[in-house]
Amino acid sequence: MIASGAYSVKELIQSKAGAYMELLKFRLSFLVAFSCGFGYVLASQGVLDWSRLLIICFGGFLISGASITINQIIEKDLDKLMSRTKSRPLPTGRVSVNEAIIFSVLVGAAGLFLLSLYTNLLTTLLALVSMVLYSFVYTPLKRVGPVAVFVGAIPGALPPLLGWTAATGVVSHEALIIFGIQFIWQFPHFWAIAWVADEDYKKAGFKLLPSGGQKDLRTAVQIMIYTLFLIPLGLLPAKFGMTGIDSAIVVTICGVLFLSQTFSLMIRGTRSSAMRIMFGSFLYLPIVQIAFLLDKL
């Protein structure tokens, strides 16, 4: 009986820990952490403090996790309506609202504390702005209209900027370039996801697609235009001496391939075409950032 009870307690702890990890959305928060590290390494001029790099990445991971958890607290009733989100910890009751609130406060405070201790005031303030914009501005705006995508793209593009300011303490034109690339990237990324998940999003009243929220040629053209902007933007780091010609070639190839996927959506307007853009966006950003880093190192 004792062994059986101990096993049950162990299972309960593992289940609860797994639910908290789901709240953090580990893969998404890991990508945020990677973008923070990308900005830090790019700004470090080849002189790296590895312990500081890891702390900055972990701080970014915690800020992201806290923001995502707050998002899920606010949208817990809406998540119950959508197939893609109804099995999350809050809708299923695996984590209570009070537990999620305490968790988000602890995680967010830990992230801000680490950044304040090991970086500077500017980086910490930008991280706080990112968390507030994502959690308390972008989240409610999702039911208002596509302006939410513009607002959400700001905190979504801040991670590499956080890394840069952590290394330099200033928002330079180089920092704005890497911010701009990630900012523009999010429009085709967001809209492709909104196209794929349109039926689910409508159940929750989310209005993220442009052009009146329709899956039509006008929306597809807007996705194409923003993807097109990524090609010249991707060349700016080489233009300003942040990186070299090798990464410029890689970024151009990635940009052209990414752009080519949008033509299928304009011609066919199918969910499968939107899915290819969505998966293409998942590949584009890390490949481009890795190319910049390898060229810099």
Task: Determine the pLDDT at residue 7.
Answer: 55
**CA 193/CA 211 separation, integer angstroms:** 16
**CA 161/CA 32 separation, integer angstroms:** 11
Show the tokens assigned to 193. Answer: 């996801």
Instruction: Give me the long-range contacts of 191-197 (CB less than 8 A, separation at least 24).
Output: 191/149, 191/219, 191/222, 191/223, 192/223, 192/274, 192/275, 192/277, 192/278, 192/281, 193/278, 194/149, 195/219, 195/265, 195/271, 195/274, 196/271, 196/274, 196/275, 196/278, 197/82, 197/84
Task: Determine the pLDDT at residue 1.
Answer: 42
Class for domain 1-170, per CATH? Answer: mainly alpha
Cα dihedral across residues 3, 8, 11, 13: positive or negative: negative
| Number of residues that this document lists for the chain | 297
Show the tokens assigned to 61. Answer: 């991971």
Cα–Cα separations (whole angstroms), residue 28 to 24, 33, 164, 282? 8, 9, 20, 10
Task: Kindly give the confidence (pLDDT) of every residue in the chain, 297 residues in length, as a single tens digit, with 9 standing for 90 and above.
Answer: 444 455 577 788 888 889 999 999 999 999 999 999 999 999 997 778 899 999 999 999 999 999 999 999 999 999 999 999 999 999 999 999 999 999 999 999 999 999 999 999 999 999 999 999 999 999 999 999 999 999 999 999 999 999 999 999 999 999 999 999 999 999 999 999 999 999 999 999 999 999 788 999 999 999 999 999 999 999 999 999 999 999 999 999 999 999 999 999 999 999 999 999 999 999 999 999 999 999 877
Read off the pTM. Answer: 0.93
Half-sphere exposure of 129 (CA within 13 A, CB side): 16
Task: Determine the pLDDT at residue 2.
Answer: 46
